[in-house]
Structure 1
Amino acid sequence: MKTYISPWPQTAALPPFPRTVSVLGATGSIGASALKVMARHKDKFTVTALAGGRNAKRLAKLAVEFRPEFTALLTDEAAREFKSLLPSDYSPKILVGPEAYVTLATLPQADLILSSIVGAAGFPPTLAAARAGKVIALANKESLVLGGHIIRKACHESGAVILPVDSEHNALFQGLLGHSSEDGLHKLILTASGGPFRGRNRAFLKTVTRDQALAHPNWSMGAKISIDSASLMNKGLEVIEACHLYGVSVDQVDVVVHPQSIVHSLVEFADGSQIAHLGQPDMQIPIAHCMCFPERVTLDVKRLNLAEVATLTFEKPDKSAFPCLRLAFEAFQAGPSHPTVLNAANEVAVDLFLKERIHFLDIPAMIERALSDHAPIPVDTPEAILDLDREVRAQVRGRA
């Protein structure tokens, strides 16, 4: 099957420098790292738009620094606060609501879109950017989990290119450059840190607290992705994302636990050789690789010294103690509507856990019930996907 998304973009179609960037999710951890890269390489980027959810104070600080023409927030209240924090000599256009993100994703002057919104909310703007033929630096894996088949089609029709920001998929991207899905590819191997509860059994997991689950040993991330990492759902979503990005079957994707987070993923070829990508666990590295592709730039990150690291270890994931990973494999195999159910149930369950209304092991239990209750349905349109997403969320919340 021909792949229309990375890792085989037409480099001639990529915009020249300086690249005009629209940042969706500017106030999150990915957005912060991306803006740090752009601040270091001001000759390569112009920020035309920043979207910041409800974090008016943080967005105002960034807007004053980068002076984008467009900004967006999710609520009128946040927009009013944001406007009150701006200096008198700066008046950007302020858009409000989820539809504002779609607008920023399709601005004619924006030739590179960083999609780093958390959760299913990232699907509409990512799809809009794909339909508009943009270069998309994708950090929102849920977009492909929900509608990877639709986004692939949109990229094929418009000429859009997706460059993967997730450290694991960026590692696969780099390992696959120069090859194709028909060129001896055998397997994609995603690495997982194992999160804060690696090696723990279900008896222990029954007792874990919100704060314990948020304390990731290697990465600094937002709350939702930190919980997903603790449950291994993050890796499950990445399995589905890999299938859509690289046009492979789920049988060609494997997961190995690597607690040091130095090897970010591996590509195995038909001859038995494997290509691994190594680097410090710093998101500036994959972000800069996508935003500057095909060039590489210097970054303010600690250099990897393998003698200091000394030991790299690998082990199989415990799918019994962490069933979310198993559920993701099963959802993708079950049909195109099941990953939408998986993601919706997970987002609701994680939200309930963060609000301390359910226990940690209730997360996979709620997801498994939602999947078992679901009968496959056609999801050939974005509207069908979003309708199913809303329906599942309501059902899962109703049972909490």
Structure 2
Amino acid sequence: MELEFQRNKERFAFLKWGSNAFQNMLVVPPGSGIVHQVNLEYLGRVVFNTNGLLYPDSVVGTDSHTTMIDGLGVAGWGVGGIEAEAAMLGQPMSMVLPGVVGFKLSGKLRDGVTATDLVLTVTQIVRKHGDVGKFVEFYGEGMSELSLADCATIANMSPEYGATMGFFPVDHVTLQYLKLTGRSDETVSLIESYLRANRMFVDYSEPQIERVYSSCLALNLEDVEPCISGPKRPHDQVTLREMKADWHACLDNRLLLLVANTSNPSVMLGAALVAKKACELELEVKPWIKTSLAPGSGVVTKYLEKSGLQKYLNQLGFHIVGYGCTTCIGNSGDIDEAVASAITENDLVAAVVLSGNRNFEGRVHPLTRANYLASPPLVLAYALAGTVGIDFETEPIGVGKDGKQIFFRDIWPSNDEVAQVCSFKCSA
């Protein structure tokens, strides 16, 4: 951070001046995290109040994953820099009215299934349907079973499933999140009253109005299986039970480069619980594995530390290296020189297991050709196994204390265990 301030002093000074020179311009300090996460936690208004005039919040950003804010009920998507800057200066932005795809969710996720498994399933379904350039709106009784973080995870991936945005209307879960992140009771009450008056608030305790969409999709959450996506595209979904066969259908090697980042509390705390169980069983990450942890914002550090779980991640080598898109854009640092030499000299296909949203070849590191998206707990599991060529159902992850073989089921936390830690995190 010191280096960044030294190198960019003039830029930061200019931005600071701009925050005072223009009305309604906020500047987020460097090192705070991914702008989309900060937008979700601090900046999103949901409903604007300009001198007593109320209107819905909306966002255009210069990054495709601006769509993360759609999980908060704010219409937002990525545009070019010129369009975004023009909008910031009060100029209108024109667009062709897109088709709106309704995506109905029902049921509840089974035990052991994560929000990452859900979003990778949704990505494959929407991509297969062919909804490039459209708005996707999620609805149905299954929505009441999802946390705000789950909704934001799905919204964040809309560029990967080809939609302009994946929208989640404001409901009680949204209001709870706004209170949790420090928005005042008065503000939250105003948001609810305004949206209810304009029939834009969804109350799942009331009969639902049947909406008309350009086309419709549906998913029963109970049908979602643990999965990953790869080796090159986010919509190439592979169920966890089929992963070993899929990997060996491509090649046969055991070299693995591994990194991690994300921001959803349930999956981050789930990963920390995996680390805790692994440490208690005296498992270790294999020596050829590169590990790193780059959360979306400093909030993740706070709840990992308050829950007492960060120390287990540290013990396995998943120290926090920064906040933001560090890993996804290839800034997590170089890999061990011996490993790099082995890859280049033997023309090996090294693999990444990443809890991000982009897995194109060479994106995380130039030497990694196979790149898989997975939930943070699965990232930990693969780090401990040391290879993606493993069948978690039948093969041990490693050998623990007393020479006992340890299996995937021995370190995987239940939904109740994750929920207990999450409730502690919220109260703390």
Question: Shared fold by TM > 0.5?
Answer: no
TM-score (normalised: structure 1): 0.29
Larger radius of gyration: 2
* Larger helix percent: 1
